[in-house]
């Protein structure tokens, strides 16, 4: 196996800085090192110690740059890459005006492959080593995405988006075809290489009860798969769900009734939750995914990060591109910080970095495998330049600890701050 030693500042975690004191579970070294053995992290420690112990191993010295786990984006839509930053609409109009016409193109395998490759390369350029993506209703879009991720050695989560109502003719499947296609695709891709399949009803307004029931039955037969969908993103959406499912207690109940509430469930947005919904998500240990740049861009609302972090709900962080307006998890952390400020709390940089790596990995039930700078994790690593632009450089120059040095990059950084990315032990 090929070994390689990366030297620089290092940041790693031994626990959750929302439930423990961040000072105790965040570990920084100003001259640290990471030993890669093949595709895995074999050691994290002080540079001098690891160099002495492994004198013949090739070294890349990143100087003052910060070596962290690669970012994990826990919710996005690769077919929307081409329409990112489209002007002037809120959720339902935005879907009908921009999203559905673009998604209709993904029956074309060549187009899907081109966009999948472009999206994964953009993610890597922004320091993101894992994407969790919705595809379109077309099985070709799923093959294209898993194929492109496999070619790059990336761990990804994805699934065929299922919709059998309230969508254009070109974007509707049926309860039966959604079941059959999803089953065939999960048998083809789930657990193959670094691929994880997520059964993917888009959201309850675009699925009939029959389709939700069919997908719930499929999940019951394949409980090791994840399940991803959207939940309580915008108030008009919630009213629409009420009118479509008058018998349900709330939005979450439209999933729960059909077997689509469970520990492996990933519920995107989850902004306007009722007490019952929070209690049920906590009880089952489900994951919600915070998509801050999307929530401000589409005008959805202010996610209660600090409130939900007190529960047993797992919380991931995500770009939600193209509803989200940026590929950068730095920009995503910045907006999470700003939304929390609007709710009256300041999220610490150690908590933001944890969310973008360990938190998202935990939401995907992949703790210790990805998003983790520690022994045994896959060597998916991002190296961050803490002085990537003149304005960041002049601010971080006054910093007297790592958090004060890192925070300007979280708030003002973008792909220019990404010095290097390693995927499964290989430099990209």
* Calpha distance 262→314 (Å, rounded): 12
Q: Which of residues 246-305 bind Zn ion (CB under 5 A)?
A: 268
- Residue 214's contacts (CB-CB under 8 Å, 6 or more residues apart) are 175, 176, 178, 179
* Calpha distance 379→427 (Å, rounded): 10
Q: Which does 202 bind (CB under 5 to 8 A by kind): Zn ion, ligand GUN, none?
A: ligand GUN
User: Interface with ligand GUN includes 233 (CB under 6 A)?
Assistant: yes
Spell out, one character per residue from 298 to 317, where the chain touches ligand GUN: x when CB under 6 A holds, - when not. Answer: x-------------------
Number of Cβ atoms within 10 Å of the Cβ of 245: 18
| Residue with the two structure tokens 């018998």 | 247
Q: Which does 203 bind (CB under 5 to 8 A by kind): ligand GUN, Zn ion, none?
A: ligand GUN
* Calpha distance 73→88 (Å, rounded): 25
* Calpha distance 207→175 (Å, rounded): 8
Spell out, one character per residue from 97 to 136, where the chain touches ligand GUN: x when CB under 6 A holds, - when not. Answer: --x-------------------------------------
Spell out, one character per residue from 71 to 90, where the chain touches ligand GUN: x when CB under 6 A holds, - when not. Answer: ------x-------------
Q: How far is the CB of 143 from ligand GUN (least distance, A)?
A: 20
Q: Which does 414 bind (CB under 5 to 8 A by kind): ligand GUN, Zn ion, none?
A: none
Based on CB atoms, which residue is closest to Zn ion, 265 or 268? 268
Q: How far is the CB of 44 from Zn ion (least distance, A)?
A: 34
User: 365 in the Ramachandran plot: left (φ > 0), alpha (ψ -120 to 50) or beta?
Assistant: left
Based on CB atoms, which residue is closest to Zn ion, 153 or 268? 268
Number of Cβ atoms within 10 Å of the Cβ of 398: 9
**CA 45: distance to chain centroid?**
27
Structure tokens at 347: 């999220």
Q: Which does 66 bind (CB under 5 to 8 A by kind): Zn ion, ligand GUN, none?
A: none
Residues in the chain: 428
Based on CB atoms, which residue is closest to Zn ion, 4 or 269? 269
Structure tokens at 395: 């601010």
Instruction: Indicate which single residue of 54, 126, 190, 202 sits in contact with ligand GUN (rule: CB under 6 A).
Output: 202
Q: List interacting residues with Zn ion (CB under 5 A).
A: 268, 320
């Amino acid at each position: 196996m090929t070994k390689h030693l990366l030297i620089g500042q290092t940041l790693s975690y031994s626990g959750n800085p929302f439930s423990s004191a961040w000072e105790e579970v965040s570990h920084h070294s100003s001259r640290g090192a990471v030993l890669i053995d093949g595709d895995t992290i074999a050691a994290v420690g002080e540079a001098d110690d690891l160099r002495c112990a492994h004198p013949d191993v090739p070294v890349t010295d990143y100087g003052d740059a910060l070596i962290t786990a690669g970012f994990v984006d826990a919710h996005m839509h690769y077919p929307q890459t081409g329409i990112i930053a489209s002007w002037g609409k809120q959720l339902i109009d935005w879907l009908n005006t921009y999203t559905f016409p673009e998604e209709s193109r993904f029956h074309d395998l060549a187009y899907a492959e081109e966009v999948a490759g472009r999206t994964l390369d953009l993610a890597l350029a922004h320091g993101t080593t894992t994407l969790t993506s919705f595809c379109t209703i077309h099985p070709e879009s799923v093959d294209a995405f898993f194929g492109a991720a496999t070619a790059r050695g990336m761990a990804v989560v994805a699934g065929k988006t299922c919709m059998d109502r309230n969508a254009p003719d070109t974007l509707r499947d049926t309860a039966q075809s959604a079941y059959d296609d999803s089953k065939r695709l999960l048998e083809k891709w789930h657990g193959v290489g670094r691929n994880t399949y997520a059964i993917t009803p888009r959201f309850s307004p675009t699925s009939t009860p029959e389709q939700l029931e069919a997908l719930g039955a499929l999940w019951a037969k394949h409980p090791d798969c994840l399940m991803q969908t959207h939940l309580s993103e915008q108030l008009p959406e919630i009213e629409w769900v009420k009118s479509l499912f008058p018998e349900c207690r709330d939005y979450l109940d439209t999933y729960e009734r059909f077997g689509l509430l469970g520990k492996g469930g990933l519920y995107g947005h989850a902004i306007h939750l009722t007490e019952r919904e929070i209690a049920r998500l906590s009880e089952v240990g489900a994951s919600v995914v915070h998509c801050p740049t999307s929530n401000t861009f589409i005008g959805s609302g202010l996610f209660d990060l600090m409130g939900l972090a007190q529960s047993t709900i797992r919380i991931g962080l995500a770009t939600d591109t193209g509803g989200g307006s940026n590929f950068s998890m730095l920009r995503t952390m910045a907006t999470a910080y700003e939304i929390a400020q609007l709710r009256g709390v300041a999220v610490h940089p150690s908590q933001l970095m944890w969310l973008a790596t360990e938190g998202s990995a935990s939401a995907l039930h992949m703790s210790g495998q990805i998003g983790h700078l520690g022994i045994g994790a896959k060597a998916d690593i991002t190296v961050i330049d803490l002085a990537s632009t003149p304005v960041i450089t002049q601010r971080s120059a006054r910093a007297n600890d790592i958090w004060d040095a890192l925070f300007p990059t979280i708030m003002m950084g973008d792909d220019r701050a990404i010095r290097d990315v390693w995927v499964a032990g290989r430099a990209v």
